[in-house]
Amino acid sequence: MKADLRDAGVRSLGMAGPPRATDRASVRRTNLGLVLRLLRDAGARSRTRIAAETGLPKATITSLVTELVELGLVREGEAERDGSVGRPSRTVELDGRAICGIGVEINVDYVALAALDLRGEVTVERRTALDARGADPGPVLDATAHLIEETVAALRDRGVRTVAVTAAAPGVIERDSGVVSYAPNIGWRDVDVATGLRDRLGLSAPPLRVENDAKLGAVAEYLVASAADIHDLIYVTGETGVGGGIISDGQLLRGSAGFAGEIGHMPLDPAGHPCACGRRGCWETMVGLAALLRRAARDDDPVLDPTVDLEHRLAELRRRADAADPATLAAFDEVAEGLGVGLALLADVLNPRAIVLGGYFAYFADLLTDRVREVLHARVIAPDAGGCALLPSTLGFTAPARGGAYLALDSVYGDPSGASV
């Protein structure tokens, strides 16, 4: 059945799989989630078509759809003719506008939030400039909790319930506990982000979990790329640090201890610049945002000021590049060269169908991708870079927060019966 469902568009990222069917009630929850995921991934369908694609009896599908309508998760759609004769039947499509999931990203330079409804449509998107580099975790968690509280309250006033929150953070995350064990770019060690946010939000807050920012970015990008039948990709963040999220055959690759994707600390230039991790010449010292700014700006340049919103600073770099400022253009050339070298290594090892460039790499894609692609094709051992496409993100800096919101909604797909509004 799994192959049939893949053909229908159903995706499983291995983040929080469906409940195990151990009794009649759990079988029904599993089947409700199966129908809901099919409608999410493959679009509106008639009950007859849903029955054919899931292998469940038509009577069972009719009962499941009735319950999902009562829960406010699906609604009747347009008429669809299943065959050449007979009366057209109405399709069923996702609804879920009265519930949402929230993703919030703690970054070096900002805290960003995205709230998505069950259809994946953005209901709220916000970003606050914040210099988290070396700051005490307390004020950072204060600002993050405040942003969550404001959003939950605003959504509640609109009749929308927040089902869960996922916080994205850089570095190594202990997934079960929500502890950021090591995040060198913000100077955090063993910070219990999950408990800190829960204590600030109070007992009435939605369920909350913590995930690595690049992994969540990969989830969001995969949900876009899979529409083009891409099921193997590497998502590369372009922030102060450089991280990666790896999707292999539609599954998020975690590694044996959950730490897969720490690509920014590949030692590509041992004689190079010192890294926040304590070593020298890590890849992110060559291509991270700090590396670009170091090459393009003097110490007193306002584009280095972390209290200024990141997109304003990037817009100033864009203006300088458009004006053919030599230092700015030279900085982009050096970053593109280093980016191509690192991506070629990843392509040799993982042979992805696509590499998606996120963050500032996507913002400046027109200045980077041609040279990066040249280096990639010159260095990857397989012909034509092993069939790997280089794609700028369409989500940009919002990808980790959106991935967090998608993951927050995962609980609804796991147990739709618990999503009553």
Residue 49, in any domain of the structure: yes
Residue 411, in any domain of the structure: yes
Residues 262 and 391 in one domain: yes
**Predicted local distance difference test score (pLDDT) of residue 23:** 72
Residues 238 and 310 in one domain: yes
Residue 153, in any domain of the structure: yes
Residues 237 and 316 in one domain: yes
Give the span between the Cα atoms of 28 and 51, in whole angstroms: 15
- Domain region containing 24: 2-94
Residue 362, in any domain of the structure: yes
**Predicted local distance difference test score (pLDDT) of residue 193:** 97
Do residues 309 and 110 lie in contact, with contact meaning Cβ atoms separated by under 8 Å? yes
Residues 233 and 377 in one domain: yes
Three-state DSSP at 352 gives coil
Give the span between the Cα atoms of 142 and 261, in whole angstroms: 28
Q: Which two tokens stand for residue 34?
A: 């199966």
The CATH number given to whatever domain includes residue 13 is: 1.10.10.10
For residue 298, what pLDDT band results from cuts at 50, 70 and 90? confident
Please determine, for residue 81, whether its predicted confidence score (pLDDT) is greater than 70. Answer: no
Please determine, for residue 166, whether its predicted confidence score (pLDDT) is greater than 90. Answer: yes
Residue 221, in any domain of the structure: no
**Predicted local distance difference test score (pLDDT) of residue 24:** 79
Higher pLDDT among residues 237 and 25, named by residue: 237
Do residues 63 and 70 lie in contact, with contact meaning Cβ atoms separated by under 8 Å? no
Q: Give the rounded distance of the alpha carbon of 217 from its chain centre.
A: 3
Taking Cα atoms as reference points, which of 79, 80, 52, 75 lies closest to residue 65? 75
Residue keyed to tokens 């609980």: 411
Please determine, for residue 9, whether its predicted confidence score (pLDDT) is greater than 70. Answer: no
Residues 357 and 284 in one domain: yes
Residues 292 and 405 in one domain: no
For the chain, give the percent of residues with pLDDT over 90: 67
Residue 322 Cα distances to 204, 298, 315, 335, angstroms: 50, 19, 10, 17
Residue 356, in any domain of the structure: yes
**Predicted local distance difference test score (pLDDT) of residue 420:** 61
**Helix (H) / strand (E) containing 183:** strand 179-183
Residue 60, in any domain of the structure: yes
Q: What is the mean pLDDT of the chain?
A: 89
For residue 12, what pLDDT band results from cuts at 50, 70 and 90? low
Residues 371 and 276 in one domain: yes
Residue 23, in any domain of the structure: yes
Residues 51 and 104 in one domain: no
Higher pLDDT among residues 137 and 96, named by residue: 137
Please determine, for residue 84, whether its predicted confidence score (pLDDT) is greater than 60. Answer: no
pLDDT digit string, tens, across residues 184-194: 889 999 999 99
**Range in 12-26, 43-57, 277-291 with the lowest mean pLDDT:** 12-26
Please determine, for residue 309, whether its predicted confidence score (pLDDT) is greater than 90. Answer: no
Residues 245 and 380 in one domain: yes
Number of domains in the chain: 3
For residue 19, what pLDDT band results from cuts at 50, 70 and 90? very low
For 154-173, what is the mean pLDDT? 94
Please determine, for residue 234, whether its predicted confidence score (pLDDT) is greater than 80. Answer: yes
The CATH number given to whatever domain includes residue 258 is: 3.30.420.40
Q: E-strand spans in 196-349?
A: 208-212, 233-236, 244-248, 251-252
Which residues contact residue 383 at a Cβ distance below 8 angstroms, ignoring those fewer than 6 apart?
A: none
String of DSSP letters for 216-243: HHHHHHHHHHGGGT---EEEE--SSS--
CB neighbours of residue 279 within 10 Å: 14
Give the span between the Cα atoms of 68 and 73, in whole angstroms: 5
CB neighbours of residue 238 within 10 Å: 28
Do residues 295 and 327 lie in contact, with contact meaning Cβ atoms separated by under 8 Å? yes
